[in-house]
């Protein structure tokens, strides 16, 4: 048996004490990390639960209106063109809303599964923007909002050709326009300014809504995040639109910035570089409606 001197014994005890102290410290750090992870998991589950509740309403309610109005039209005996026209407008508005929701859900599924595919086409930006804006005319009329479209490109009357993924570009712009219209005050104006500079597409979407607090400007791009939520929720939505927008922008090597002051509206600034890939056939695309949906899991 090895006999230790008092000095050696003290050194050994100090060594073991330091090791124990280090283990306790690492264990404490791990406990803190586990607590943070658990908190995030609880928050994530809560967000998912709210999402499922929201999406149920966002799908069931419009679908019920569509079915109800369609049944009413079928049961009309004395056809009144104005009455039927109003019913058809309602059906169109609700069907448009459903299509919009499904677009974001299916794109979110593709993003989550890592199944995004780049489909480059030759886009005539003039026609593309015009076709896209037409889809929002009824929404604008319903809220009495004017859309001020500005093409700031030099020689803006000339054909503007941009090579990119028309489907994803449509979803990006549609989500930001929908967001601006949704949160703008009735009777206000949404400004949509775009221009092409050195093969980079720039556009600005400015609303006159209540604005976004500085602390919330990064959160709005989080999946399932809704600043307007709970029992006092005033606006439709499921918290996917801006998250999908940011993910698609990153996929296209683009970027988005937010300038906003509470009570003074918001400005979303987007840049998207032209996409080029010799492996793709560049078919013409002028419509924002050429969408192909892929089934997949949301979570």
d(C-alpha 105, C-alpha 82), whole Å: 35
For 125-160, the pLDDT digits (tens) are: 989 999 999 889 888 988 899 999 988 776 655 568
d(C-alpha 25, C-alpha 20), whole Å: 9
d(C-alpha 164, C-alpha 125), whole Å: 11
For 81-105, the pLDDT digits (tens) are: 888 888 888 888 888 888 888 888 8
Where exactly are the structural domains of the chain?
1-299
* pLDDT-based confidence at residue 273 (cuts at 50, 70, 90): very high
3-state secondary structure of 288: coil
For residue 88, the model assigns a pLDDT of 87
* pLDDT-based confidence at residue 173 (cuts at 50, 70, 90): very high
For residue 217, the model assigns a pLDDT of 67
For residue 42, the model assigns a pLDDT of 63
Under 8 Å between Cβ of 266 and 214? no
Instruction: Name the DSSP class of 5.
Output: P
Bigger pLDDT: 271 vs 11: 271
For 210-229, the pLDDT digits (tens) are: 888 777 767 777 765 555 54
Sheet with 146-151, edge to edge strand ranges: 146-151, 189-197, 200-206, 266-273, 255-260
Give phi and psi for 199, each to the nearest 5: 65, 20
Under 8 Å between Cβ of 207 and 265? yes
Under 8 Å between Cβ of 254 and 173? no
SS (H, E, C) 20-71: HHHHHHHHHHHHHHHHHHHHHHHHHHHHHHHHHHHHHHHHHHHHHHHHHHHH
For residue 216, the model assigns a pLDDT of 72
Instruction: Name the DSSP class of 157.
Output: T
3-state secondary structure of 193: strand
Beta-sheet pairing, 146-151 with 189-197: parallel
Which residues are within 8 A (CB) of 268 and not within 5 positions of it... i.e. 6 or more apart?
176, 179, 180, 204, 205, 206, 256, 257, 258
Which parts of the chain are beta strand (E)?
121-124, 146-151, 161-164, 189-197, 200-206, 255-260, 266-273, 283-285
Residue 197 has pLDDT above 60, yes or no: yes
For 12-71, the pLDDT digits (tens) are: 777 887 777 778 877 877 777 777 777 666 665 665 655 556 666 677 788 888 888 888
Instruction: Show the tokens assigned to 70.
Output: 């369609």
Residue 278 has pLDDT above 50, yes or no: no
Q: What CATH number does domain 1-299 carry, 3.90.1310.10, 1.10.10.10, 1.20.1090.10, 3.30.565.10?
A: 3.30.565.10
Under 8 Å between Cβ of 120 and 280? yes
């Amino acid at each position: 048996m090895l006999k230790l001197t008092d000095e050696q014994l003290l050194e050994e005890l100090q060594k073991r004490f330091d090791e124990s102290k280090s283990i306790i410290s690492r264990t404490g750090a791990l406990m803190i990390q586990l607590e943070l992870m658990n908190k995030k998991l609880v928050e994530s589950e809560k967000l998912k639960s709210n999402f499922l509740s929201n999406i149920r309403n966002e799908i069931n309610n419009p679908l019920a209106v569509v079915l109800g109005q369609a049944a009413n039209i079928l049961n009309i005996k004395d056809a009144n063109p104005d009455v039927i026209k109003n019913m058809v407008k309602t059906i169109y508005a609700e069907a448009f809303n459903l299509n919009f929701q499904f677009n974001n859900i299916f794109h979110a599924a593709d993003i989550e599964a890592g199944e995004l595919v780049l489909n480059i086409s030759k886009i005539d930006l003039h026609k593309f923007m015009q076709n896209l804006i037409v889809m929002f005319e009824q929404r604008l009329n319903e809220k009495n909002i004017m859309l001020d479209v500005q093409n700031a490109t030099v020689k803006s009357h000339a054909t503007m050709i941009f090579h990119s993924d028309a489907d994803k570009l449509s979803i990006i712009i549609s989500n930001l326009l929908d967001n601006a219209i949704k949160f703008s005050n009735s009777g206000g104006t949404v400004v949509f300014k775009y221009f092409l500079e050195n093969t980079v597409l720039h556009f600005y979407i400015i609303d006159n809504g209540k604005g976004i607090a500085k602390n919330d400007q990064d959160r709005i791009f989080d999946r399932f995040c809704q600043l307007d939520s709970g029992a006092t929720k005033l606006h439709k939505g499921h918290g996917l639109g801006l998250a999908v927008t940011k993910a698609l922008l990153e996929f296209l090597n683009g970027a988005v910035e937010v300038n906003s002051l509470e009570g003074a509206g918001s400005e979303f600034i987007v840049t998207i570089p032209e996409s080029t890939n010799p492996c793709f056939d560049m078919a013409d695309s002028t419509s924002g409606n050429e969408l192909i949906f892929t089934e997949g899991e949301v979570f």
